[in-house]
Every structure is written in C-alpha cells, then in structure tokens.
C-alpha cells in the first residue's frame, strides 16, 4: 500500500471492507451517506464458548467469509464489481491477523479493478456511522464519543477529517467492562445487551457504585475500578446467599448507571470545555444502549447524533463513508495510501 495513486475522478461509489475483529463486513455506499448495502457475517457463535474473541479463529474465518459477503454486498446493492470506483478498508486498530486478511483482499481487489485503495482508521470510522442516513446535516465543530468494546475515545472535530483526541480510557474500554461484569455473573459474550436487559428490571439505587474520576477535572475515563467494585459487591452477596434474580437485576442496573453516568459526565465536560461545539455524535457498540441514549439526551442541550442501531456495532458502511470524506476533503496524504505498517494496530489515535 505504499505506492500512491491519483484519485481522479473522485470516487462516489465505494466498497467498504471491515475485518478488524470478529465481523466480516462489506458495504456499498454512494456519496458517503447513501448505504446501498451493508452485509455483515458475524462469527459470534464461534467465539462464544471462549468468552471472548480468539484472534486466530477470527482471522481464519474472515478468509472463509470474504467471498460470500462480497457477493451479498454487491447483490443487495444491485451493483456489479466493475461499477465500484474505490475500495476502502479498515487498516487498524484491530487484531493483526484479522486486519491482514481484509487488507490483502482489498488490495487484490483494487489492483484487479484498477481503482484506488483507501485505508481507514476503524475508530474514526465509527464516528461516520453517526452520519449515515442522518436526518440532520453534520455541523462543525463537534464533539464525538466512541464507546465500543475496544475503545472509549472522545474527540473534538473542527472539520470532517479533523480527529483531535481529547480524552480516552486509561484502562478498560466501557464496552469491555460491560462484557467482563457480564462474564462474572455467567452471561455470555457480548455482555452489554444482556446486562442492559437485566438492568431494565432492576433498581439502580440499590448498590451504590463509585463515581469514577469525578475529582480529576479532565476528560480521562476509567473502568477497571468499577469492574472490581462490581465483583466485590457480587461476592459479598454470594457469601450471604443473597443472590437472586432481583439482586442480579439491581446489581446490573446500579453498574450500568455508573458506567453510563461516567460517559455522560465527561461528554458534558467536553462540551463545556469547547463552547463553540455545535453538535455531539455518540457511536460504537455501547451507543445501542437505550438507557445511555436517554441519559445523553437529558444532559446534552445540543443536537445529538446517534447511529441507527444496525450501524452501532462494526460494519463496513461506516468505513466506506469515512473513505469518501478522505477522498473528497482530504489532502493527498489523508486521502490516499500513505503506507500501511503491519504494526499499525499500535497507532492509536
């Protein structure tokens, strides 16, 4: 990918490819916002028995899924491969073996079709999920919060490609914390939706949880202390033989509120810190949480953009959407292949 290509004319019909974790996804997107198809092949069932994603299994199964997922993305879009004007691919961060499968496939496809290859940052891609099929147009400057299984990142964006990271978790990501507490009480991966379902039946006041990093006055997040607090509370209940369905529901509700309150508190702080903010975008797997959406809307007085539920988790439409912006608004360096290092999973921006 080190060689540079000239994007001329600017591509409008883009095939996105995403393989950074356990979903093999491809999508056809027109003009950066119109999703003609978004095919996702999930490997969830293969990883569930291990309680998390196994990198080797993920990489091997991406290989198996690539061809059928490509066919589905093209068929659903009613588009032939020869009409595609650029291939966009997640270059990182993610599981290195899984990324290599997607990048190699994308590169081969681009070479065969004689069209540009556009490398995309997965975390930045999540932000573009919030702009897909949106009712409102996008405003700048904005504050964007990415809350997924691997990342809890806060950005200030003064333009479509201006990703200034202003905050992040110093330990676990928020989604990862949901997954870990779920595992502690015997729920399978991914735990977030299961914890949310239990929390709906519980009382969030029953088990007081710490308001993590409240005094810090900065935009850092932390989830490992909350996870430990949850475990200690659970063990105390267990020791007193007080675990029943209601106790579990109350524990999940108390944990969920503390986890989400921290997100909303820091988001609100970021908006106050940058008073010219015109919009807030909240994305990533955890943004599917209904309670989270309500808390954000209660607290943030600006227009808030959430992705449609199908674009909260990993998908390739968001990758194609960001690639479109890179091709149309980026400098040459932003837009084109600036060289892909096999170690790029460590470049965490």
Footprint on this chain of ligand KG4 (rule: CB under 6 A): 21, 148-150, 175-176, 178-179, 190-193, 196, 284-286, 288-289, 313-314
**What, of Zn ion, ligand KG4, none, does residue 233 touch, CB below 5 to 8 Å by kind?**
none
**What, of Zn ion, ligand KG4, none, does residue 178 touch, CB below 5 to 8 Å by kind?**
ligand KG4
Beta-carbon contacts of 83 under 8 Å, excluding residues fewer than 6 positions away, are 13
Which residue lies nearer to Zn ion by CB, 121 or 148? 148
Closest CB 281 distance from ligand KG4, rounded Å = 14
Which residue lies nearer to ligand KG4 by CB, 102 or 284? 284
Q: Nearest-5° angle of CA 26, CA 32, CA 36?
A: 50
Tell me which DSSP letter residue 302 carries: S
Distance between CA atoms of residues 122 and 88, nearest Å:
11
Which residue lies nearer to Zn ion by CB, 271 or 286? 286
Closest CB 347 distance from ligand KG4, rounded Å = 16
Tokens of 39: 């095919």
Which residue lies nearer to ligand KG4 by CB, 121 or 148? 148
Tokens of 345: 């999973």
Complete edge-to-edge strand list for the sheet that includes strand 117-121: 34-42, 23-30, 13-18, 86-92, 117-121
From the CB of residue 137, how many other CB atoms can be counted at a distance below 10 Å?
8
Closest CB 307 distance from Zn ion, rounded Å = 11
Complete edge-to-edge strand list for the sheet that includes strand 164-168: 164-168, 152-157, 142-147, 279-283, 304-305
Closest CB 24 distance from ligand KG4, rounded Å = 13
Q: Per 3-state DSSP, what percentage of the chain is helix, strand, and coil (rounded to 5)?
A: 45, 15, 35
- Applying CB under 5 A, which residues contact Zn ion? 148, 314
Which residue lies nearer to ligand KG4 by CB, 11 or 190? 190
Closest CB 143 distance from ligand KG4, rounded Å = 19
Closest CB 123 distance from Zn ion, rounded Å = 7
Q: Which of 28, 121, 99 lies closest to 70 in space, CA to CA?
A: 28
**What, of ligand KG4, Zn ion, none, does residue 92 touch, CB below 5 to 8 Å by kind?**
none
**What, of ligand KG4, Zn ion, none, does residue 289 touch, CB below 5 to 8 Å by kind?**
ligand KG4
Which residue lies nearer to ligand KG4 by CB, 178 or 340? 178
């Amino acid at each position: 990918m080190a060689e540079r290509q000239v994007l001329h004319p600017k591509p409008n019909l883009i095939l996105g490819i995403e393989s950074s974790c356990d979903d093999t996804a491809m999508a056809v997107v027109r003009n950066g916002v119109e999703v003609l198809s978004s095919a996702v092949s999930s490997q969830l069932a293969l990883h569930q028995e291990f309680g998390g994603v196994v990198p080797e299994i993920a990489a091997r199964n991406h290989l198996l899924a690539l061809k059928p997922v490509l066919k589905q993305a093209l068929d659903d879009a009613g588009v032939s491969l020869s009409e595609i004007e650029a291939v966009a691919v997640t270059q990182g961060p993610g599981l290195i073996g899984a990324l290599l499968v997607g990048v190699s496939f994308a590169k081969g496809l681009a070479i065969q079709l004689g069209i540009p290859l556009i490398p995309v940052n997965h975390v930045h891609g999540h932000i573009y999920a919030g702009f897909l099929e949106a009712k409102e147009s996008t405003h700048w400057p904005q504050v964007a919060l990415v809350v997924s299984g691997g990342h809890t990142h806060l950005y200030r964006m003064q333009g479509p490609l201006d990703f200034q990271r202003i905050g992040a978790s110093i330990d676990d990501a928020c989604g990862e914390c949901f997954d870990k507490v779920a595992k502690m009480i015997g729920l399978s991966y991914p735990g977030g939706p299961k914890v949310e379902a239990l929390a709906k039946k519980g009382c969030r006041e029953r088990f007081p949880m710490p308001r993590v990093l409240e005094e810090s006055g900065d935009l850092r997040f932390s989830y490992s202390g909350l996870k430990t607090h949850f475990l200690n509370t659970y063990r105390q209940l267990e020791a007193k033989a007080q675990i029943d369905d209601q106790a579990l529901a109350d524990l999940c509700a108390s944990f969920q509120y503390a986890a989400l309150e921290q997100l909303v508190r820091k988001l609100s702080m970021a908006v106050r810190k940058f008073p010219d903010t015109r919009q807030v975008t909240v994305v990533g797997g955890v943004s599917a949480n209904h309670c989270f959406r309500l808390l954000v809307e209660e607290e943030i007085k600006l227009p808030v953009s959430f992705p449609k539920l199908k674009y909260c988790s990993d998908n390739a439409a968001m990758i194609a959407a960001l690639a479109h912006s890179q091709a149309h608004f980026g400098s040459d360096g932003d837009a084109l292949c600036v060289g892909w290092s096999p170690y790029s999973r460590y470049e965490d921006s």
